[in-house]
Structure 1
Amino acid sequence: MTTSAAALAGCGRSGDVEAGTLRVGISNLPDSLDPARGQFASAALIYKQVHAGLTEYGPNGQLAPGLAERWEVTPDGLAWTFILREGLAWSDGRPLTAHDVAWSARRLVDPAHSFATLGDFQNVVNARAILAGEAPVESLGVEVVSDQAVRFNLESPLGLFPLLMREFYPFPRHIIERVGDDWITPANWVSGGAFTLASISQVQIGLRRNPHFYDATNVSIRTIRVEAVRDDATRARMFRAGELDLADNPPANQLDFLREQLGDGFRSFDAPILRYLKINHDRRPLDDAMVRAELDYAIDRGFLVRELFSGAASPTRSVLPQMFQDQNDPLRMRPEGAPPLIDRPLQIRTTTGLGERMAVALADDWRQIGVESEIFATYPTDLYQAVDAGDFDIAIASFNRGLKSDPFFMLDPFAPDGFAANFNWHDEHFAELMNRARRESDPGEREEIYREANAHIQLEHAIITLVHDRAHLLVGERVSGTRADVQPQVWRYLELDDA
């Protein structure tokens, strides 16, 4: 998926803009267009455009009806029923029914077809047993009540269930059963979202408005071209040259410059973004909490914020944002004459660009306490593979939960089934706290559980948190319909002045 400015120089110059076409620049394309298999943040972004959830993100970022027009829960909290809109259809015009929803739920937990972790479905009856190969897929706690109603039966109450259903996307069973994995190619593509897949290459995805989408009359953008531009600075230059209408993640060392040059075209949003260090707990001496603590306390987070984020981030030793955390402790140095903390070079894995610059700063901090480091900067895919294989000491990581603002979504990635729980940390207390949070329906009680879980992961130094970042986006003059307080991640809400 590599690209360059030269490779894209002939694509979408400002004078060649097609009316009604939104041009978006992102750092990399999805690893898969199949929600049962994709894991990249870019995949989650594209899913919001081409798939439709039972519930949705409204224009204000809050929970809104999606394929389901309403939902209800039993008094004991153990069963949620979603009532679908009338007349739903797939992008090929075939009816979309509760039978499709139930089949899709079973496919999502079937280890023969899904690479996804249980995530949103771990509370559904038999989901864990199915994923472990201990129960048949048909035993999943989902049932069709009628063509327009589907019920999910849970093993324990889950008050957040409708929120989680914003990113459960039904699959086109009638296509998948005919062509298998080839359903995600343009020739076979069928989905229920606002846009359909028109084309795809290593560096570009083309989307087309879906006339069968349930809210198609309110979607004004006709086509979307998504460019994969790996280098942040190149992406920003393309935007300034008029080749892109939206560009994500502008270079951290250019934020002040871009803010001054672009005015209203530079947007910043409060966002649940965490940059942190994964620590391989299976490697000595990193399995010692005291060693992890000394590495943590030696990091000059203020330097990272000032020099690498242009002050547009907050230093943190907490997974949760500022209102949940205590003040940062001062830097701590090891006493003179103390024995070496680590008697070998510490391997730091990261990506090129900002990640590599962060690694250099960290290596310098740790050198002050007698720890030498080796930096391995690679492409994101190579980094993910190394971490999943356990081939790392320290890995610079981050996640952006997008429009998910509840504290659950910041902490749950580190729970046993979480997408970020791949650093060999096994802690029963933290797992139980997150299970309690899932079961708790009272927001006040949930917040107290989150505070305890946050304090526990911090006390154990299970990971090393670095900064809470803001989301920065470059928005072109052609684009309207954006809100000052919500990231424009659902593109069907946007409008173009020539659409």
Structure 2
Amino acid sequence: MLNRRTLLAATAASGLAACGRSGPPPDLLRVATTGLPDSLDPARGEFAAAALVYKQIHAGLTEYAPDGSVGPGLAEDWSVDGSGLVWTFRLRERLMWSDGHPLTAEDVAWSARRIVDPTQSFAVLGDFYAVTNARAIHAGEMAPDRLGVTALDDRTVEFRLETPLGLLPTLMREFYPFPRHVIERVGLDWVRPEHIVTAGAYTVTAESQISLDLTRNPNHYAAGTVSIPAIRIDGVREDATRMRLFRAGDYDLADRPPANQIDYWRERLGTQFQSFDAPILRYLKINHARAPLDDVRVRRLLSRAIDRPFLAREFYADTAAPTELVIPGSVITDSEPAPQAGGMSRPLEIRTTTGEGERLAVAIADDWARFGIETELLVSYPTDLYQAVDAGDFDIAIASFNRGLKSDPFFMLDPFAPGGFAANFNWDDPTFAELMAAARRQNDPSARAQLYLAAMDRIHEDMAIIPLLHERAHWLVGPRVGGTRNDIQPMLWRDLELADA
């Protein structure tokens, strides 16, 4: 990724290039992101940066509709039987991989077997465990060919479940079939530019440590609606560097301006600075296995003592919404008394990383000090923080997650459910677990929404975590880029346009 050591070289190269041309390539969208995928293989990629690139080069059975909801993808329609245990997906006619090879239901079934095969996949299966035998296969106790996924014919694939999963079509937006005919020939090298074959709107033509080059896939099922011919993605790790290069005209699209410079960039860039409602939660992770944090009264006191409007105003220029709840837009219906001043039996340790997290930790420690609560700040690298939390070696940690375009309440609550990626703080609540399990089984959206609200109430009642803010997503969008919407982040580049493309 680009950092301080490569900034001068990148800026110099940009300046030389500018001297030799009158403007950017007319058919190229230039994107700067915080990082690049650790792998282009969805079965092996683990970095959050991978999800954004996967949306461009891979295709799911279902897709993100332009408004972020669930729409047809490789499958044109789907249905579930009366038991809720058998889902049938009907593929579009004449689907092809980017190399022109037919894409069939058997490719989908083979891909499902690969994603649960522990010798082939690093994927976190989550709700894919609902598929018959998936858990046993992933544990190495059963052969992958015993998975409950079958190609009924060239265009029809059936998923058999052990428990109902009403959200299956939503989850299928990020289940990406693999090109079996390539993987069986070259193995894990299938993601190298000289071998890679994809089904998404774009495919990869070049890769380096700091960039990816994408080209429009002429065999994509909706290729006629994809207007941008080529995309270059640069991984620019430092927020300030990324923003300066955008302002210099080196990029058409860039994500995440520095949180402490939102007002600065918003004022100088005007309409090129765009903010979006997003499923981003900033919260305090509490270790329930450590006294005095194992006492819900202590956790409530800590929560009530935090001045959330100050955090939103001072650190996010009021673009983040103060919250005590997990799901955006939710309202607290109970009434709690103001916290009572009083010391703890020992100082509380707050673990965080440098930058934004450290600034928040200092402000929160100051709030708590007013109520006689002593704190110690421990600032470390992200990997050290994650390892400490996973090992249970923490009191309180500044935490956050960004669910991208996944706006369904499920994706805000599921990280805290048993087995969730954020469920590493020694909280065990059977009622919450059962409510989440019931929501998964529910096919009716309104009934499922009520279960989610009840599950969220359990988090709040027990103060399992301490929510702080619902942040907004910020993107810098250059004047050449069209096709963006006011209500959804520009993460689906197949829907964008270039003024001179």
Give the TM-score normalised by the residue count of structure 2: 0.92
Find the residue that maps to 2:44 and give its secondary structure.
coil
AA matched with 2:365: A
**Are 2:349 and 1:346 aligned?**
yes
1:306 CA drift (Å): 0.9
Aligned position for 1:270: 277
- Once residues 201 and 388 of structure 1 are traced to their aligned partners in structure 2, the CA distance between those partners, rounded to angstroms, is 32
AA matched with 2:3: T
Aligned position for 1:127: 134
Relative distance call for 1:495 and 1:254 in structure 2 (3 A) is: same
Please say if residues 348 and 396 of structure 2, whose CA atoms lie closer than 8 Å, have aligned partners that are also in contact: no
Identity level (%): 59
1:264 CA drift (Å): 1.7
Q: What are the within-5 Å matches in structure 2 for residues 70-469 of structure 1?
A: 70-326=77-333, 332-335=339-342, 338=343, 340-341=344-345, 343-344=346-347, 346-350=349-353, 352-368=354-370, 369-378=372-381, 380-469=382-471
**Are 2:486 and 1:481 aligned?**
no
Q: Name whichever of 419-428 and 470-479 sits farther off.
A: 419-428
Q: Name whichever of 44-53 and 243-252 sits farther off.
A: 243-252
Please say if residues 351 and 385 of structure 2, whose CA atoms lie closer than 8 Å, have aligned partners that are also in contact: no
- Once residues 73 and 8 of structure 2 are traced to their aligned partners in structure 1, the CA distance between those partners, rounded to angstroms, is 41
- Once residues 373 and 456 of structure 1 are traced to their aligned partners in structure 2, the CA distance between those partners, rounded to angstroms, is 29
1:21 CA drift (Å): 0.9
- Once residues 248 and 358 of structure 2 are traced to their aligned partners in structure 1, the CA distance between those partners, rounded to angstroms, is 27
- Once residues 328 and 199 of structure 1 are traced to their aligned partners in structure 2, the CA distance between those partners, rounded to angstroms, is 57
- Once residues 328 and 211 of structure 1 are traced to their aligned partners in structure 2, the CA distance between those partners, rounded to angstroms, is 58
Please say if residues 80 and 88 of structure 2, whose CA atoms lie closer than 8 Å, have aligned partners that are also in contact: yes
Find the residue that maps to 1:143 and give its secondary structure.
strand
CA RMSD of aligned residues (A): 2.2
1:325 CA drift (Å): 3.5
- Once residues 198 and 392 of structure 1 are traced to their aligned partners in structure 2, the CA distance between those partners, rounded to angstroms, is 44
Aligned position for 1:37: 44
AA matched with 1:376: V
Relative distance call for 1:10 and 1:498 in structure 2 (3 A) is: farther
Find the residue that maps to 2:361 and give its secondary structure.
helix
Structure 2 spans left out of the alignment, 5+ residues: none
Q: Deviations over 1:252-299 (max 9, x none)?
A: 222223222222211111111111122333444444434433332332
AA matched with 1:53: G
Structure 1 spans left out of the alignment, 5+ residues: none
Please say if residues 248 and 472 of structure 1, whose CA atoms lie closer than 8 Å, have aligned partners that are also in contact: yes
Please say if residues 347 and 373 of structure 2, whose CA atoms lie closer than 8 Å, have aligned partners that are also in contact: no
Find the residue that maps to 2:330 and give its secondary structure.
helix
Q: Deviations over 1:322-380 (max 9, x none)?
A: 23434896763533xx5x34x25514132x321222122223233343322122232x4
Find the residue that maps to 1:214 and give its secondary structure.
coil
Please say if residues 12 and 244 of structure 1, whose CA atoms lie closer than 8 Å, have aligned partners that are also in contact: no
1:12 CA drift (Å): 4.9
- Once residues 328 and 356 of structure 1 are traced to their aligned partners in structure 2, the CA distance between those partners, rounded to angstroms, is 31
- Once residues 200 and 104 of structure 1 are traced to their aligned partners in structure 2, the CA distance between those partners, rounded to angstroms, is 24
Relative distance call for 1:394 and 1:345 in structure 2 (3 A) is: closer
- Once residues 160 and 287 of structure 1 are traced to their aligned partners in structure 2, the CA distance between those partners, rounded to angstroms, is 34
1:200 CA drift (Å): 2.5
Give the TM-score normalised by the residue count of structure 1: 0.92
Q: How many residues align?
A: 493
**Are 2:500 and 1:498 aligned?**
yes
1:56 CA drift (Å): 0.6
1:152 CA drift (Å): 0.5
1:460 CA drift (Å): 1.9
- Once residues 330 and 246 of structure 1 are traced to their aligned partners in structure 2, the CA distance between those partners, rounded to angstroms, is 46
Please say if residues 49 and 193 of structure 1, whose CA atoms lie closer than 8 Å, have aligned partners that are also in contact: yes
